Structure 1
Amino acid sequence: MIKTLSTRKRLQLAGASAIALSAACLAPTAAMAQDTAPSSATVETIIVTTTRREENIQDVANSVTASSGEALAPFTEGGADILSLGARIPSVYAESSNGRVAPRFYIRGLGNTDFDLAASQPVSVIMDNVVMENVILKSFPLFDVAQVEIARGPQGTLFGRNTTAGTIKFDSVRPSQETDGYVSVTAGSYGTMNLEAAMGGAILEDVLSARLSLLSQHRDDWIDNGFTGENNALGGHDEMAGRAQLFFTPNDSFDALLNVHARSLTGTSAVFRANILSPGSNSLNGNFVRDEVYYDSTFNNPQAYDNWGTSATLNFYTGSGLTLTSITAFESADGYSLGDIDGGNLVTGPGFIPFPSETQDGIDTLEQFTQEFRLASDDSQATTWQVGAYYFESEFDITTVGPNGGFPPSTTVRHDNTLWSAFGQVSHQLNDNLELSGGIRFTHDAKDLIGVVTSIPVTPVSVSDDQISWDLSAYYDLDDRQAVFARLARGFRGPSIQARDVAFFSQPSVADSETSTSFELGYKSEPLDGRARFNATAFYYQVDDLQLSAVGGAGNLVQLINADRGVGYGFEIDSEIFVTDNLFVTAGFSWNETELQDNDLEVGVCAQCTVLDPDADIDGFHEVDGNPFPQAPDYILSFTARYSIPAGNGGEWFAYTDWYYQGRTNLFLYESEEFYSDGNFEGGLRVGYAGELSGGQDYEIALFARNITDEENLVGGIDFNNNTGFVNEPRIVGASFRASLN
């Protein structure tokens, strides 16, 4: 799995991914390694904060994967963004139909395909202890990251907001009294440039420290517009981001961490391609050309977003071991994306759109304010507890408009959301082997929609709900290196409002709250005298009133709906092993089965594809009862390996590779012969030298390739009238240099 390691060289061994392999595969490999090449290396103790306390990942009664920031380097150095986490961690998938903004995450098959900028998601993204609720905020770029933690299953007690599927938590490298930093420079194909730098250290000894982190990414436009004859018209991007932190530690009873961060992005939104699927097939046809589109517009799908935020985390420590924590945060964002959503004016194919279909959606002055208070007991006691309260408020305008004043007419709607909750959690060490835990959270969630400037009258919409989330768990140590756990949890996602259709002369739609109840059994171990880690979890969950987004039909509308229920079950495996001191392998596997359960649920379907679901009423709407969830891979298999050769003077030559393989993934609520993917895979390779400069700084020089086999994978579609789809990133080949600044 992706993991944190104790030294820089071992961080490189972990490489860049969460990986997968079955238990049956791991055991023979481990046995062979023990017989032929004993290793003195051991896997590192990984500390996570899934329970809002610092704990060994092996001691947490939950399915959790953790990754160091340096382990993400092979992805980000090639220009990749936060979507690179998808399909490289068991049971975790990610996709977007909006370029480098508005990522959509799925855990154990549960997610949300809604592309509206106000969409809520059942996977909560948390950055530096702040919930990033809006999809634009979730896309903040990854740089100078200390650790990423993925907690699967409902996390509705301690994190609460919209966590029926789980949480993805990012923690930046914090300032310290020791001077440290790094610089990383990458150059690759398509003019890809990536620069990262960070520097931190003491300002006042033992009192004040600071850290400044910077990111610059660039890629040239590389896709031609064959319709207008413009070469290199789209496909590129420029992104700048920065983060400044101050850590104030005046005495043993108080500390404060202040964080200010910002990002500016300009570039190309999603590249939609018309008629790249033939009726009866999900294989890309001859209309697909990687570096060419046929957009009947000179705009070429631009997007631009700016956002910034700030937070203050204050800790007060009492003499009795209590800790009072306050986290105050503010986030703001503005921007837009324009898309030729019919995929261009390419006439060859099953469908043709006889008019321009280009739409721009943008967020105006998004403002999010959050406040959390938490009181926690001393960690050293047999019984530990924490209680707290949380407040969330956001407001923003979404404007939908056609380019040059065309259709659709300019429409602006305002979304307001206010939420507050109170929570508590307690754990008790019953004996040397058994720990029991339980928690509860009450949440009030209210949302309002009003039309600010609209072409038709919009009736204001207000929705709210009060819900209780909870969890119960038991963790049992079998011995010093093995443990089992059981967990039962309930999560809650508040009601949602979808207003994009207002621009197309339809009223908003509403989805009621969804609740998820999950049960999981897990096994955690560090066999072979600590040279390996093997964690496995089996799970079953049921979601009542599952929120879904139905897109398409004769009116090409976007409507929120609820299914009576959805169920999911399966298992996931995280594993890693030092085969020898020089060969480190990580592997993992997840199998997820999902099913919609609603005898009365029917949705509109694509006009030019082969729909497999019945239309009992012969009204053009097809039944989806029994179908898998959309964008839910039935399995994910991934793997990494790193081999090093010592070169003297503390240096080494190394080779690192990572691969993932994704099983069948249905793209929409209905099933068809066209809109699914099966067998998508990608691989990467890095070869280079790591050594030490005369001043003691570590450095690394490497050649790399992302998507080394240049796979052309269908990753999404638009069920318009012409089988429009979009694909993965092309192969990127380049070189990188990284050095510490200690």
Structure 2
Amino acid sequence: MKSRFLTLSVMAASALVSTALYAEEVNIDPIVVGADFREANLSQVTNSMTVFAEEDLYDKATEPFIETLTQAPNVNFSAGASKAKYVQIRGIGERSQFETPINPSVGIIIDGMDFSQNPLGITLFDTKQVEVLRGPQGTTFGANGMAGVIVVQSNEPTAETNGHFEATVGNYNTKAVGAAVGGSIIDDTLLGRISVYKNSSDGYMENSYLGRDDTNNIDELTVKAALKWLITDTSTMNINYIHADIDNGYDAFTLDNSRVSHADKPGKDTQLTDAFSLKYTNQINDAMHLIAAVSHSDTDSEYSYDEDWSYVGEFDDSLWPYDWFDRYLRNRKQTDFDMRMVSDKAGKIFNGTTAWTVGMYYKDYSEGLNRNHFKDDHWETFTHNYDTTNKAIYGQIDSDLTDKLVFTLGLRAENWDVDYSDSNAFTENTDENLYGGKIGLSYKADENALYYATLSRGYKPGGVNADNTLPSEDRTFETETLWNLDVGVNSKYFDNTLVNRLNFFYGKRRDQQVKAYIENDRSFSDYFDNAAKGTYYGLESELDYYPNDTLHLYSKLGLLHAEFDEYTPEMTGRAPAQSPKYQYNVGLDYSFLENWRFKANVEGMGSYYFSDTHDQKSDSYALLNSSIEYVYGNFSATLWGRNLADKEYDVRGFYFGNDPSKFYEPELYTQKGTPRTFGLTLTYDF
């Protein structure tokens, strides 16, 4: 069935391309995206991009943010606690963090604030739009955008007073309540909006030793506030603030891969973040406008867990059981400043054919770690300080070669400075210059078809491996670079009832960063290594069909082939971890009886390797989700269910020996994905 599905999807996408010349006149699409230097309608974007608009998000507030992203083609995630917080695009991205500081492969920006390191603080309540950009974003986002970038936009303040209230109850003792209100504070001068969202659940694990069912629980509070100051007719100030208090448990792994834990010391996965952003926009004249933005965040987190997954006395002493506990306490501070000049229509150069952008960027990031490791009846402590400074200049031109053909050239030069020191008296200082950018052509055949080809270069800085048991030559790893080619078409057919976005991609990775680990007497030394070369290629397809005003059919498909070209003999020719060969999301929205709406979708993913250190793989899976909604005036009630078939699937996997009763023989240990969940959500808008 999977084979037939993939074949039909590819045939359908090919058929759409071949019939582009027969498309009829359509209206401009309503979705506007702003992840590039200029806002544009989605149909005119020359990136491989998925957009979750407000109508896609309004009923997903209780869903984990990272897991929701997998409904986009070639986007995957890995868990490792109560919720997933690591995302991969086209097989590129982090899967975990222990001692070693990491530089993200996927950038995550919410309301102008960088949450790439702290995604637990993002919820989908009161969210207007999420943009998922695949492939290097070297010109616009630099070091944190090698695999792609995710941009989250909350609902903005409006002049009219409006509000939203939402309450949810569900199985596993799920309870959530949220409220948002906004409007004019000072007429024609100051607008504001504030939202508060509280979400809790017992989680999906039981702990038989402690007699509890909430050791892997969810307990989250998020507050968002926004002000829009209309300073003059030509200048505006936007101010955003986020407070996230995440107090989740961590008790997810068991010796028998069940949902019943025996741990006597369940851990935590917490995050306390305060962040703000200021964005000043000034229309200098008819030719150009200035955008200046600054943001700052301060985050404290705890990641802790019971290493032995058991309790004292569960195993006979002759089996050499152990009782260890690991706790990672981190503080992260980050300040970003970005200033750019952007041309308007009157400011185009070269006889009015070329729009331009020039800018400068500065980032100061610091991470302090305090690791407390309980081992053999005593505590061992390790600390480190990791400080980076980024300084960049960038620019882009978009030149109309003809009335249909546009040439784009973007460049970014970035200086990356690192200072690292730890309690083992190891220090490392690096200072390197990094370069990224893109060159592309887009051709607008008519109002209904846009073709594009873009060659881009992204980069991910090297770093320091914190574990002092590693050989000296493995204490650092090199910067990775990625050359990526995207070729695609955005097209519409049959009076805008059928919409297609199709993208083919091919990429070459140099000094590919690889996460690995060494096992030694039940201890793990995780570290980053470099593979000389890697390759990936595939396609992303999104189809939307509106046969009438009441029915919407859609499909999203991602195909990916990735492999190591040059690495160790065992790994050369193999796919990297978290690189499934296919992903899909097929569904429908159907409105009936005037006030009712039915939604259903199936999302599936192929098998993939859990790690670049062993050959254990996940099983392929498909999840059925559905909801039915009743709307009466400003009130709505939605009965929803996710993973309705209660499919068992894995979202993280390790391969090592941890069971004394099996004499510590290596075996696969997995964390299970979300089981069947269901609930009722009530909303009121005014």
* 1:331 and 2:264 matched: no
CA distance in 1, matches of 2:580, 2:124: 25
- The AA in structure 2 aligned to 1:425 is Q
How far off is 1:43 after superposition? 8.8
Check whether the contact 1:401–1:407 (CA below 8 A) recurs between aligned residues.
Answer: no
How far off is 1:275 after superposition? 4.1
SS, match of residue 553 in structure 1: strand
Q: Deviations over 1:52-107 (max 9, x none)?
A: 21101111221111112441244333xx2222234311111122223337x21111
Check whether the contact 2:322–2:376 (CA below 8 A) recurs between aligned residues.
Answer: no
* 1:414 and 2:385 matched: yes
| Matching residue within 561, 580, 592 for 1:633 | 580
- The AA in structure 1 aligned to 2:575 is P
Correspondence list, 1:149-168, <5 A: 149-168=131-150
**TM-score, normalised with respect to structure 2:** 0.90
SS, match of residue 58 in structure 1: helix
Q: Deviations over 1:434-474 (max 9, x none)?
A: 111111000111222112xx3xx331112232111110011
CA distance in 2, matches of 1:138, 1:474: 38
* 1:131 and 2:114 matched: yes
CA distance in 1, matches of 2:370, 2:54: 36
CA distance in 1, matches of 2:463, 2:7: 35
Q: 1:641 to 1:274 in 2, by over 3 A?
A: same
Correspondence list, 1:583-622, <5 A: 583-599=551-567, 601=568
* 1:730 and 2:675 matched: yes
Where structure 2 has 5 or more consecutive residues not aligned to the other structure, the ranges are 1-5, 19-23, 659-667
How far off is 1:40 after superposition? 13
| Matching residue within 622, 641, 644 for 2:591 | 644
How far off is 1:330 after superposition? 0.6
Check whether the contact 1:514–1:545 (CA below 8 A) recurs between aligned residues.
Answer: yes
Correspondence list, 1:46-125, <5 A: 46-77=31-62, 80-100=63-83, 103-116=85-98, 118-125=101-108
How far off is 1:739 after superposition? 1.8
Aligned identity (percent) is 22
1:402 paired residue number = 373
Q: Deviations over 1:401-457 (max 9, x none)?
A: 135995560211111111110000000112221111111000111222112xx3xx3
Q: Deviations over 1:586-616 (max 9, x none)?
A: 11111100011224x27xxxxxxxxxxxxxx
Correspondence list, 1:231-242, <5 A: 231-242=212-223
Tell which deviates more after alignment, 588-597 or 402-411: 402-411
SS, match of residue 188 in structure 2: coil
How far off is 1:50 after superposition? 2.8
Check whether the contact 1:563–1:598 (CA below 8 A) recurs between aligned residues.
Answer: yes
* 1:442 and 2:410 matched: no
How far off is 1:359 after superposition? 0.9
SS, match of residue 156 in structure 1: coil
Check whether the contact 2:308–2:322 (CA below 8 A) recurs between aligned residues.
Answer: no
Tell which deviates more after alignment, 339-348 or 125-134: 339-348
Q: 1:341 to 1:147 in 2, by over 3 A?
A: same
How far off is 1:253 after superposition? 1.7
1:22 paired residue number = 9
1:7 paired residue number = none
CA distance in 2, matches of 1:99, 1:20: 36
* 1:176 and 2:158 matched: yes
How far off is 1:737 after superposition? 0.8
Correspondence list, 1:138-287, <5 A: 139-220=121-202, 223-226=205-208, 228-269=209-250, 271-276=252-257
Q: Deviations over 1:552-591 (max 9, x none)?
A: 4345210111110111001110111112221111111111
CA distance in 2, matches of 1:230, 1:344: 14
* 1:551 and 2:478 matched: no
1:310 paired residue number = 276
CA distance in 1, matches of 2:285, 2:25: 42
Q: 1:28 to 1:463 in 2, by over 3 A?
A: closer
Check whether the contact 1:70–1:145 (CA below 8 A) recurs between aligned residues.
Answer: no
How far off is 1:266 after superposition? 1.1
Correspondence list, 1:505-524, <5 A: 509-524=475-490
Check whether the contact 1:664–1:679 (CA below 8 A) recurs between aligned residues.
Answer: yes
Check whether the contact 1:20–1:590 (CA below 8 A) recurs between aligned residues.
Answer: no
Check whether the contact 1:236–1:267 (CA below 8 A) recurs between aligned residues.
Answer: yes
- The AA in structure 2 aligned to 1:359 is D
Correspondence list, 1:452-531, <5 A: 454=423, 457-499=424-466, 501-502=467-468, 509-531=475-497
1:608 paired residue number = none
Check whether the contact 1:119–1:498 (CA below 8 A) recurs between aligned residues.
Answer: no
Tell which deviates more after alignment, 419-428 or 171-180: 171-180
Check whether the contact 1:342–1:724 (CA below 8 A) recurs between aligned residues.
Answer: no
| Matching residue within 612, 620, 625 for 1:669 | 612
Q: 1:165 to 1:20 in 2, by over 3 A?
A: farther
Q: 1:532 to 1:43 in 2, by over 3 A?
A: farther
* 1:354 and 2:321 matched: yes
- The AA in structure 1 aligned to 2:502 is A
- The AA in structure 2 aligned to 1:124 is G
- The AA in structure 2 aligned to 1:396 is E
| Matching residue within 286, 290, 294 for 1:320 | 286
CA distance in 1, matches of 2:452, 2:483: 17
Check whether the contact 1:69–1:146 (CA below 8 A) recurs between aligned residues.
Answer: yes
- The AA in structure 2 aligned to 1:729 is T
How far off is 1:681 after superposition? 2.0
Q: 1:474 to 1:30 in 2, by over 3 A?
A: closer
SS, match of residue 202 in structure 1: strand
Tell which deviates more after alignment, 712-721 or 382-391: 712-721
- The AA in structure 2 aligned to 1:740 is D
